[in-house]
Each structure stands twice: as structure tokens, then as C-alpha cells.
Structure 1
Amino acid sequence: MEAAAPLAERLRPRSLEEFVGQAHLVGEGRPLRRMLEERVLSSMVLFGPPGTGKTTLAHLLAQGAGLPLFRLSAVEAGVAEVRKAVEMARKAGRAVLLLDEIHRFNKAQQDALLPHLESGLLVLVGATTENPSFALVPALRSRLRFFPLYPLSEEEVLTLLRRGLGLLGLEGWDEEALRLLAQAAQGDARRALNALELAARLSPRLSLETVRLALGSTPTGMDRLGDAFYDLVSALHKSIRGSHVDAALYYLARLLEGGADPLYVARRLIRIALEDVGLADPLALRLAVAAREAYEALGSPEGELALVEAAVYLALAPKSNSLYTAWQRAQEAARAHPEAPVPLNLRNAPTPLMKALGHGEGYAYYHQDKEGSFAQRYLPEGLEGLTLFEATGEGWEERVQERLKALRARFARTSPKGRASPGKG
């Protein structure tokens, strides 16, 4: 019966010494090893990519603590199934509940777990490929410890593959083929062992050809709306901001190859043009918008080159967040002084009454009276020294730094004492 089980199941470690990877959790003196050594098990969530050992660790922890383990999937289970697990735990005295895909439990289902964690009847081991901080309610989070698991290294996957070879009865194998399997697995032990098992069915000798047939098309390691997607988007944005053009191209390719919506990527490039290039290169925004329009006109794959052009241009462009910073300051000033009266000379005067009240009086039209224009009041009384925009030394802004400095000096010299704007009355 055991021989019929998948290779990954037959190779599941029976002790921590057989476990491969996650040294930050199971190495000497690390938290999960200490729990096993001390036989004191805390409720926790193990989160990370598929095939990194979450389920195996849960089994090893329950076994090491001498507790029965009940396994539920949050995809299928509800409050009723949780109650059944609680009853079985009561009969056993205490138990470990392994809850796969814990992020799929809704608030009511999560709340049903709380009293049993509080009493110690259940030790919850949640497993998920998602970031649990977004999905779990605060009351449950406060009772859990969170341990991230990471993709296995190529050498760690090779270690597992070599163990698998001994169970498959192969006549031989090419080391190059084995390494290709390890690379294509992208840190997922289950994927590597499943592909090895399929390759062994195709031929008694493991070769590059059989491995390629077993692998089929290699996934790109991106979930379209999960953490991996947003990590790649973040990496693209930060690579462009940091002017690393090669990293920008790599992450752009990862996104597009992984099935990301090209128009979403285009919108992110427009945001980068505004937020990170800004006035250092005013043409960047036009190019980013044009890239989006070009993609809409051409579609994939031809239109993707427009996104490539925009990404390269933005990465190589000088950078300035002066607009972003100035706007944040402006918003803060508006919130701090939401009712500061507009100076009379700047007010609109569409009616005789408004003119009689002094609206628009003394306004100097720049193109007719430049000196008067600099001498009039622009900011509300009490905010005359407000400085929001600062030009950087990057690109176009370097050219206007001196002009901005001269303009501010001129306003300061000719700033009117002026009459105060009337208060509310």
C-alpha cells in the first residue's frame, strides 16, 4: 500500500533529522527544534510557498509533543467540522489541529477556535501560502506565533531528489538532468519529487529529455493577486526608483510571463513617472502614458515592448520626488489651516457687492505689471513664509533651482505688509 503513495509522501520525514531546509526554524537552538526538545507546543501559523514543509513540520511537532493530530482544510471545513475536532480532542485530552489554508476561514469560523485555544484543549497549527496578517482576526492573531517558511535552495532540493532516486529503481541518471529538476522546482520540494516520479515512469534512465518531458512548461512562481504578485510589483517599482535597469527588466518579465495584467503594469509605470521621476524629467510622464496607449492599440505580445521601453526609460531617467513631497506638505497645510481667508486681491468679484467688499482690489496682472505682481499677497495671512516645493539637483529641476531661489528671494523682498483679510462676520 505504501509503495502506491506518491513519492513525496513516501519520502516525508519521520524525524527532524530527516527534514531538509528551514534551518532558521529547525536548526540548533531555533524555535521549532526547541519546542520539540522541550515537548512544549504553542499554537502557530506556518506560512510560505508550496512544497516547503509546512504539513511535514506540523506532523513532526504533534508527534514530538506526543499529541494526536487532526487535519482539516479551511476550503471545505466549517464550524461544524471544528466542533467535531474539538470533541475528538476532548476524548484524547488534548490534540493538535492542523488547519490547511487557514486564511480562508471567515471571522465566525476563526472565533469558534478561540475558546479552545484559550483553554489549551487545541494546539492550532495553521498552514497557508498567503500572508496571514491580512486574513486573520486580531483576537486569533494574538494567540498565535507566526513562522515564515522559504523556498528550498537548489542544493536542498537536490538532496531530496537523491533520496527519491533510491526508491524509484532507476537504471541510472544524468547529474545534469537531476540539476535541471532542482532548478525548475523553484524551491518547491513536492514539485521536484512529482516531476522525478513522472520522469521515472517515462524511462528507466533519467535523462535531460525525460526531465523536460516531465516538467512540461515551467511555472513562473507568481500568483496573480497574492503576495508573490505584489512582491514582484514592489520589486519592479523599487528597481526603477533605484535606477537598476537590469533588475527592472527582470521583474517586468516575471510579471508579464506570470500572467499579470499588462494594463495594471502600465498604470504602475505611470505612477512611477509621477512619483519617482517627476519634474526631474517632465517627458517621463508623457512616455509612460504613451506606453499604455501603445499597449491598448497593439495588445500582447507586440504591445509589451512599449512597456519595456517605458520601464527602461524610467529606470535611466533622473529621479525626483519633489512633487510627491510638496503635495504631501500642501495637504498637511490645508488640513492644518482649512479656513485661512484668501487674500482680498486674489478673490473673485463677479458681482457689484463683492467688488464693494474689496474682492479683487489691488490685484496686479503679471503680464501688465510684473513688479506689482511680485509685491502683492498670495498666501493667507499668517502663512506668508509657507514653503512646500523644493527643487532637487536632478535633471530638469537642476535647471530651475536658481530660478526658484531667485523668485522666492524676490517675493521676500517685496512681500507686502498689506491689510489683513477680513475675518468671518
Structure 2
Amino acid sequence: MAADDDGLFALPVALPPPDTAFSPEPERAGAPLAVRMRPRTLADVVGQTHLLRPGAPLRRLAEGGEAASVLLYGPPGTGKTTLARLLADVSTRHFVALSALSSGVKELRDVMNDARRRRGRQTVLFVDEVHRFSRTQQDALLGAVEDRLVLLVAATTENPSFSVVSPLLSRMLVLQLRSLTEDEVRELLRRAVKDERGLDGSVTVSPEAEDALVRLSAGDARSALTALEASADGVTDTGGTVVDVPAVERAVAGTTVRYDRQGDQHHDVTSAFIKSIRGSDPDAALHYLARMLVAGEDPRFIARRLVVHASEDIGLADPTALQAAVAAAHTVQLIGMPEARLALAQATVHLAMAPKSNTVIVGIDEAMADVRAGSVGEIPAHLRYGRYTGARELGNAIGYRYPHRAAEGVLEQQYPPDELVGKDYYRPTRHGGERILHERLAALRRTVRGAER
């Protein structure tokens, strides 16, 4: 395999002949139900009404009007590829499709060169899974998109803010597709049962089984149709005609948790997990913990988030929170999954129910901000190290008062630099254990700083 001019290895891709537009994948006999039921027109598309309303950019592009390059971003099974393929029906445009899984810079250049030869006929380039393109490959699209040599229609399941380079993102309209609603999934299922391209009425689906299929799909049209097909095959193989709940259970082991450890769902679920703990909702926190565990998230990552959260949002309002989080992290290391889920769940509930205080993070962040801003000052001479030759002559350690010689173990003495005398970084709340600290710190400050301070 030869490297292209940028040193990247590219797999060969068969581009359409010079005068032949791309055509959608044929609905061949034996193709999966989801392929056979792929919409042929915009009118057949279920869902995404916010993108297909009259005048919307995607609709204008599909109807042959002028439009900017677009990036279709959304979960699997929401119609990204289908919508892009419908653009092949626009007779005035030349349509080329590439997959980022099997294409490189060379293939992109071939498309651009072909587009230049077709200056009288606009080229629409569809790139599926664009997030899999390297930065170099994405950069190769910039000039053509900027000059509208091609109209780029890219699809991705990952948040483009994390997966698409900023220069390319700024040249495109980002259109977010949404998971299908339960009613939309239900409409797709009923259409597939009746349509001659689908099951052609060979089976019926009980209301309970339909509800199960809708629930299992989690808004993913492809998942819903795949589960329906598997359930129907199981029924017809035994001579039956009714898809019921047991048939669905036999065909489908369980719902697919939508979660990408490197992408948008990873960040969204993690964010919801932490915010549920911060909001003192242990039930919601356990739900999001379960979603991460079922999806195969690294339990060490979860444990690290709990350890951070224990200090960030609880701190000394419950000093045992950090101990519980660290113990859960040690448990993950010592015994692993699946048993470690119990320690993670215990720590999650502990942290969710603990009194909350963010005074630790506020205090350290304010102190670091002051240091960065130059508020450092000279260390008071009596606090400096004095056990080296010449230290006494510099005044180091002279006048230091040893607190243990005081009856209460606390005495008046200046500890911060002159510029920071009287500065309060730690301001305990009256939540949980910090109620006691609030009162104690006030007394300590009166003694250490002197009553007049």
C-alpha cells in the first residue's frame, strides 16, 4: 500500500465514473429490514421535522436550492445517512459518497479534481463518520468547502466540538439530529410490518410487544427495525404469525445503552452523574452510574470522579466522604468488576446524601488566583528556616512563637505575608460538619490574628 503525498496510507475507494452520479444503495432481496425500509423521499422520513421544515437549510439542499455545507450530528439510527443519500435524487447535482473508515487524502483530492472538471454541475460530497478523519484529512477539505467547489455533507455520531477541527467546523452549518420519539419509532414499526418492502403483513405485533420494541430502541430507528426483524424471523421459523413479548425477549437480549466512552455521551452522562450527586439525588446518581457501568465505562474513571467530587462539593461538611471515595477507588483496584460496582454504588449514595460545601475548591482557587496575580509578598522573617549558618544574622526564625507552649495550643502570631493579613480563603458554611468548623474558625482567627484584627 503506497503512502500519499502527506505520508498517509489510504485504502482505495471506487469513485463514480466521471459522468455518473452516485445512486443510493439498492434495496436488494435479503437486505436487512432497516435497509429495505430506507426512505425514498423526504416525505417518507420520520422525525427530524426541525431540519426538514420549509426553508430549512437541509430541505433547501435536498430540493436543489443553494445551501451551505452541513454537518449532520446526532445519535445512531436518527437518519444521518438516509438524509444524505436522499440528496442523490437532486438531478442537477453530482453526488459522491465517501466513508472516513476507508478513505484518505488521495480519495479526497480525486473528488476535488473531478469537481473542478464539473464546474457547471455542483458536486455534493457526503462523508460518513467524518470524526474518523485525521486532522490532515479534515484540513484537506477546507479549501474546497471555503470556495464551494463542493457542498460537503458530513455525518458524525460524536460531538463535533471534540471531533471536528475548528476551521472546518466554522465553514459548515451544524445540524443536530434528535433521537426519535416513541410515537415516531412506533410509526416506523407499523410501517415496516405492513409495507411490501418490509414484512408485507406476514406477522402482526401485539401492543405489548410493540411497546417493548419501542422501549428497547431508545429512539434508534435502525435498532428498532433490527429488533423487529429478529423477532419476526423467530416467530415465522416456528410457523407462528404473532410477535409477542416472549418473541421479542428471545430475539433481543437487552437494550443497547447509547454511550460512547470517547465522545458526547461520555461527557453528558458523566456530567449528569456528578450534578445528581451535587444535587443530593442518590436515585438519579445511581441511574447514571448504572448507565456507565452497563456501557462498559472504565470503573477507575468513575472512582476518580468520585474522589474529586468528595473534595470539590462536600469537603469538610462531611470529612468521611473523601474516605469513602478513596476506599471505593481502592476496591476497584483490588477486586475489579463486577464486585466493585457495590463499592462504587455505596460511595455514590454516600456522597449524594452528604451535606454539601464547595468551600474547599473556592478557597484553593482564590488562593491560587491571588498567587498568579502576584499577591505573594515576603514570608515573615520569624517563619523562615533558621537552621543554617548565617540564618540568624538575616533575622530568620527570630521571634517565632511555638504554639504548643500556649495552654490552648494556639497563640497570636502573623503567618501570611503582610499583603495578605486578614485575607479569608476558607469560609466554612453551616452545613453538616462545617457548622462546628464555622464557630471554631472564628475563634481561631480571633486568637491568631488578635482581637483587634
TM-score, length of structure 2 as denominator length: 0.86
- Cα displacement (A) at 1:172: 2.5
RMSD: 2.3
Tell me how far apart the structure 2 counterparts of residues 15 and 37 of structure 1 sit (CA, whole Å): 11
Q: Identify the structure with the greater helix proportion.
A: 1
Cα deviation 1:282-339 (Å, max 9, x = unaligned): 0111111122223433333233211111110110000011011100011112222365
Q: Which has the higher mean CA deviation after the structures are superposed, 126-135 or 365-374?
A: 365-374
- Cα displacement (A) at 1:208: 2.0
Tell me how far apart the structure 2 counterparts of residues 155 and 65 of structure 1 sit (CA, whole Å): 33
Q: Secondary structure at the match of 2:405?
A: coil
Q: Which has the higher mean CA deviation after the structures are superposed, 290-299 or 257-266?
A: 290-299
Structure 2 residue 125 is the aligned partner of structure 1 residue 97: yes
Letter in 1 for 2:284: A
Tell me how far apart the structure 2 counterparts of residues 198 and 414 of structure 1 sit (CA, whole Å): 79
Q: Which has the higher mean CA deviation after the structures are superposed, 347-356 or 79-88?
A: 79-88
Cα deviation 1:125-184 (Å, max 9, x = unaligned): 110111112232222122111111121112111111111001313142212112211211
- Cα displacement (A) at 1:10: 2.4
Q: Which has the higher mean CA deviation after the structures are superposed, 344-353 or 122-131?
A: 344-353
Structure 2 residue 368 is the aligned partner of structure 1 residue 337: no
Tell me how far apart the structure 2 counterparts of residues 277 and 371 of structure 1 sit (CA, whole Å): 29
CA spacing shift, 1:301–1:137, aligned 2, 3 Å: closer
Give the number of aligned pairs: 416
Cα deviation 1:23-80 (Å, max 9, x = unaligned): 2222355443355568122101111111101112223345358422211011110111
Q: Secondary structure at the match of 1:216?
A: coil
Q: Secondary structure at the match of 1:333?
A: helix
Structure 2 residue 211 is the aligned partner of structure 1 residue 179: yes
* Residue of structure 2 aligned with 1:16, choices 42, 48, 71: 42
Tell me how far apart the structure 2 counterparts of residues 200 and 339 of structure 1 sit (CA, whole Å): 73
- Cα displacement (A) at 1:185: 1.1
Structure 2 residue 136 is the aligned partner of structure 1 residue 108: yes
What is the percent sequence identity of the aligned residues?
45
Partner of 1:259: 296
Tell me how far apart the structure 1 counterparts of residues 226 and 255 of structure 2 sit (CA, whole Å): 13
Partner of 1:293: 330
Structure 2 residue 192 is the aligned partner of structure 1 residue 164: yes
- Cα displacement (A) at 1:408: 2.8
Partner of 2:24: none
Q: Which has the higher mean CA deviation after the structures are superposed, 318-327 or 265-274?
A: 265-274
Q: Which has the higher mean CA deviation after the structures are superposed, 186-195 or 398-407?
A: 398-407
Q: Which has the higher mean CA deviation after the structures are superposed, 229-238 or 59-68?
A: 59-68
Tell me how far apart the structure 2 counterparts of residues 171 and 377 of structure 1 sit (CA, whole Å): 85
Tell me how far apart the structure 1 counterparts of residues 253 and 408 of structure 2 sit (CA, whole Å): 74
Q: Secondary structure at the match of 1:375?
A: coil
Partner of 1:421: none
Give structure 2 stretches of 5+ with no counterpart: 1-26
Letter in 2 for 1:90: R
Tell me how far apart the structure 2 counterparts of residues 38 and 49 of structure 1 sit (CA, whole Å): 26
Q: Secondary structure at the match of 1:117?
A: helix
CA spacing shift, 1:4–1:181, aligned 2, 3 Å: same
Structure 2 residue 433 is the aligned partner of structure 1 residue 396: yes
Partner of 1:419: none
Tell me how far apart the structure 1 counterparts of residues 116 and 231 of structure 2 sit (CA, whole Å): 46
Give structure 1 stretches of 5+ with no counterpart: 417-425
